[in-house]
Structure formats: structure tokens, C-alpha cells
Amino acid sequence: MTHWVKIKYERKHYIVNLDRLSAFASSPNGRITFWLPDGAIPIVVTQQGEPEDYQKLQEYIRAIGENSISGCWLRFFYDRREYFIDLNRIGSFCYTDKGKLTFWIPDSSVPVILTKQNDPESYEKIKDFILHKTGEVLP
């Protein structure tokens, strides 16, 4: 079942299929950002500005966190934000000899750079995901 919602952003109304979204970023100040599929346009919904839209997104994010509705969702903190990303929708990963693991948030140009030191749990989950999906072992 698809989850179509109407979201108001910058005096425009968007009708968005939430099941097609691949990432959400939540800030402590009551902001949720997501990127429109195939457009790389960030949409920012605030708790104060559009409380009903914000609540719809919160409920959907809670559902994917609990039930993994679509794909392999990973929740982690990075750059003062909480991210929810569907790993199945990431198209590439970059690994350096110094142990940096980089990937780009789908439908955006935002890179995420993880190391064992800054987030060991997410780092290992992504390495496990890569092994499971590709058969490639990262050191």
C-alpha cells in the first residue's frame, strides 16, 4: 500500500508517495528534511510551520523504524541530525584505507562519512549490508 500525502512547502503543495522516499533527516529543532525522488529537491517541514504535515512524516518515520516497511532502513546520527536511510537505495559506497566509509544520500548530493570511531554501530551495519548485498568484504 502506498502512502501518498500532501505536503505544503514554500507556498507550493506537493503530493508525495512516501514509499518512494529513500531518506529523512530530523533535526532537534523540529525540522524534517527529505529529498524528492529523481529531483534532488530538499523539502523541509517544520513542527511550527506545518504541524499536520510534520505529524504525518513523524508517523511514517516511526513506522519504517518499527516495521521496516520498505527495504533496509538504517537509523543513525550524523552532523547533528538523525537520519533514516534505506540502504537498498544507495547506489555506491566508497571505502578508504584509513577506514572512512562514504555514501551519498539518495536523490541528493549530501555525503555521509562514517568511521569506526565516530559511529561504530552504524559503520558495522553498513559493512554487513555491503557484504550481504555484494559479497564484498571491507576490512
CA 52, CA 66: separation in Å to the nearest integer?
21
pTM given for the model: 0.88
Q: Is residue 79 assigned to a domain?
A: no
Q: Is residue 139 assigned to a domain?
A: no
Q: Is residue 46 assigned to a domain?
A: yes
Q: Are 41 and 55 in contact (CB under 8 A)?
A: no
112 and 61 part of one domain: no
97 and 55 part of one domain: no
Q: Is residue 101 assigned to a domain?
A: yes
Q: Is residue 125 assigned to a domain?
A: yes
Q: Is residue 81 assigned to a domain?
A: no
Give me the DSSP letters along 35-96: E-TTT--EEEEETTT-HHHHHHHHHHHHHHHHH--SS-EEEEEETTEEEEEEGGG---EEE-
19 and 62 part of one domain: yes
- pLDDT tens string, the chain, 139 residues long: the values are 578 999 999 999 999 999 999 999 999 889 999 999 888 789 999 999 999 999 999 999 998 877 765 568 999 999 899 999 999 999 999 999 999 999 999 888 889 999 999 999 999 999 999 999 999 988 8
Number of C-alpha atoms within 13 angstroms, CB side, residue 47? 7
Locate 26 and state its grid cell. Answer: 530530523
pLDDT in the model for residue 128: 93
Domain count of the chain? 2
Domain of residue 124: give its range: 89-134
Q: Is residue 16 assigned to a domain?
A: yes
9 and 62 part of one domain: yes
What number of other Cβ atoms are within 10 A of residue 38's Cβ? 9
Q: Is residue 76 assigned to a domain?
A: no
60 and 15 part of one domain: yes
What number of other Cβ atoms are within 10 A of residue 19's Cβ? 16
54 and 106 part of one domain: no
117 and 63 part of one domain: no
